[in-house]
Structures are given as structure tokens and as C-alpha cells.
Amino acid sequence: MYAQATSMKLQNALFEGGNAIKNASPIRGDLALPVANQLMSMLQQKYTSTRMAPLGSTGKKGRDQRSGDIDIAVEMDFSQAQDVQSFIQSKIPGIETNLMSGLEILSIGYPYSIDGVSGTVQADLMFVPSLDLASFFYHSPNYIKGESSFKGMVRNVLMIAILKHVPTGVPNTYFENGHTKDLYKYTIKPKQGLVLLHQTYLGKKGVEVKSKTTIKEDTRVVETSPEKIVEIMLGKGASVLDVNSFESTWNWLASDKFAYKDQRDAIVKDFIDDLSHEEPKNSDGTMVSKVKAYIDSHGWDNSVAGALRRGTT
């Protein structure tokens, strides 16, 4: 699986509505943002200078849709999470909370009553060093406005597939048999931004091994600005607006504006493979099928997209 698996699993945990709170239920789509604003207003009574914002599809679904939970980024070090937990418990006695150190998330069962509707929704407070990076990585298109037919996760899988094939300026090294020894590639991490990874097929015994490992101490942050990350990824003139959805990202990739046209076939192969790994185990495979259908009708000639159109892949 691709190098960003951990971050994608975290994104899925956030966007798919986890089960961290036992007595929580999905919330009506049009109520999610007002309830998120209520919660943030309560938090800002104490944390007045802390930036926070809803993540993902909160506020981007209509009345007839449901959100499994509400995700909120809090620009604060996780070391303060217990203080936040205690504050919330003091404001809402008896509230169910779940502090998850591994994910650096505080989940709460937030009780709400708005527009004649009452309930308890799981709200996940994600502690992040940069609100801008979190909002960029955990972005979701606006489904009320019809901005996309796909989840934000599909857009992220495509972005990561593209970044794997963007030239890094650091040459790979090879064994005497011609096999890759050390490789360098970009990926994006929600709390760091664009990073350069060093991976190797050199085992501990000094011989070639089948599975590559990441040399964590060599990981280097390259860029933290979302706008600059997008320009590195897609080419000159690209902006965050161009990666608003899977469709907008793909359309740039398939256009003459894309900076790395010679890498498009390899990108598509990795994208479909990575997306297949992200397909939920209990699904019927429709997510990948729908993506392939979009590629089929929005591709370019003599490419993987063309092969999909001809039914040869």
C-alpha cells in the first residue's frame, strides 16, 4: 500500500464516523454546521486565541443527508487535550468523552437541540499544529452545491499518487543488478505538509530485500503552504481551488496544463491500485467503478485512460 496509508486511515476514521462514543447518532446534514459552531463557541469561552474550524463535509451536506460525526480541527498541542476535556466536562456534566492519544483526537458525545431536533452527536476534536494544513488535507467538496460525486478521500488518494511521481531532484540509487536500492519521493502529511521520503530496499544485513522500508530520520519537510504544495504537485498556475474535488484535480491532470504529462500513465495505475485498497471491505466495488467511469469519459488518448475506454485494462 502507498506510503500515506496511516494518514488515509486517519482520514477515514475522521470522515466515516467512528464509534468512539457509544450513545451518539448521525446528525442531519443541515444541522451539522450550526451544532459545530455551538461547540466551538463554547470552547472559545476559555481558549479565546485558539484557531479552530470544522473539517470535511460538516456544513456541506443537505437536510436529506446524514453526517456520522462532526470533525473539528483545533490548532493546539495535544498536551493540552486533557485540559480541554476537563473544561468540556465542567460545562456539560456527565458528557461522554474518549481521549485517543494515538490519533491525537478527543471525541465527545455532544448533546444538541436545534430547530426542534434533539440528539447526541459524536464530535471529534483533532489537535493540529496548523489549521491551514488540516483544512487542506481533510477538505471535502460541497455536496449541497454539487461540487463532486466523490468523497474527499478519493481526491486525496489521487493527490498522493501524483506526488509519488513528481521529480524530487534527489536521484535514486541502484543495486549492481539494476534493481532500485534507494528511492526518494514526495507525499503529503496532514500535520507536516509536503515531505520528502527516503525509502530503501537495503536490508539490515546489507543485502537486497523484497519490501522497502522508510528511513524515518531522513524524512524532510519541503513545504507547508497549501498553495505552494498544489503548485509543486500540478504545475505553474495551479491553486488550491484546482484540487477542490477529485473531478477538478483529475481535470487538471488530464489537461495540457499538467506539468508531468510523461508520468500520467504511471500515476493512474498507482491511483487505481491505491484506491482499490481504500475501498471498504463490505462494499460492492462501486467507488472504484465510478472513478473508472469518470476517467473513461475524461481521459486523454493513448493512455491508461484510453485503455480503460477500450476495455483493455
Q: What is the pLDDT of residues 159-213, one digit of tens each?
A: 999 999 999 999 999 999 999 999 999 999 999 999 999 999 999 999 999 999 9
Q: Span 226-240, mean pLDDT?
A: 97
pLDDT at residue 105 tops 70: yes
pLDDT mean across residues, the chain: 90
**pLDDT higher than 50, residue 313:** no
pLDDT score, position 284: 65
- Per DSSP, the residues of the chain read --TTHHHHHHHHHHHTT--SSTT---EEHHHHHHHHHHHHHHHTTT-TT--EEE-BTTT-S-TT-EES-EEEEEES-GGGHHHHHHHHHHHSTT--EEEETTTTEEEEEEEEEETTEEEEEEEEEEEES-HHHHHHHTB---TTTT--SS-HHHHHHHHHHHHTTS--SS--EE-TTS-EEEEEEEEEETTTEEEEEEEEEE-TTSSEEEEEEE-GGG-EEEE--HHHHHHHHH-TT--GGGGSSHHHHHHHHTSTT-TTGGGHHHHHHHHHHHHHHHS-TTS-SHHHHHHHHHHHHS--SSSHHHHHHHT--
pLDDT, average across residues 74-95: 98
When pLDDT is averaged across residues 223-241 and rounded to a whole number, the result is: 97
The whole-number average pLDDT for the span 2-23 is 56
Give CATH superfamily name and number for 5-147.
Answer: Beta Polymerase, domain 2 (3.30.460.10)
Residue of 282 and 158 predicted with greater confidence: 158
Predicted pLDDT of residue 4: 43
**Residue 19: pLDDT band by 50, 70, 90 thresholds?**
confident
Q: What pLDDT, in 10s, does the model give residues 156-174?
A: 999 999 999 999 999 999 9
**pLDDT band at residue 147 under the 50/70/90 scheme:** very high
With a cut of 80, say whether residue 288 has pLDDT above it: yes
Q: Where are the domains of the chain?
A: 5-147, 154-310
- The reported pTM is 0.87
More confident residue, 301 or 243: 243
Give residue 298's pLDDT.
87
- For 218-235, what is the mean pLDDT? 97
Q: How confident is the model at residue 286 (pLDDT cuts 50, 70, 90)?
A: confident
> For position 210, what pLDDT does the model report?
95
Q: pLDDT grade, residue 301 (50/70/90)?
A: low
Is 11's pLDDT higher than 70? no
Average pLDDT over residues 282-288: 73
Does position 119 have pLDDT exceeding 70, yes or no? yes
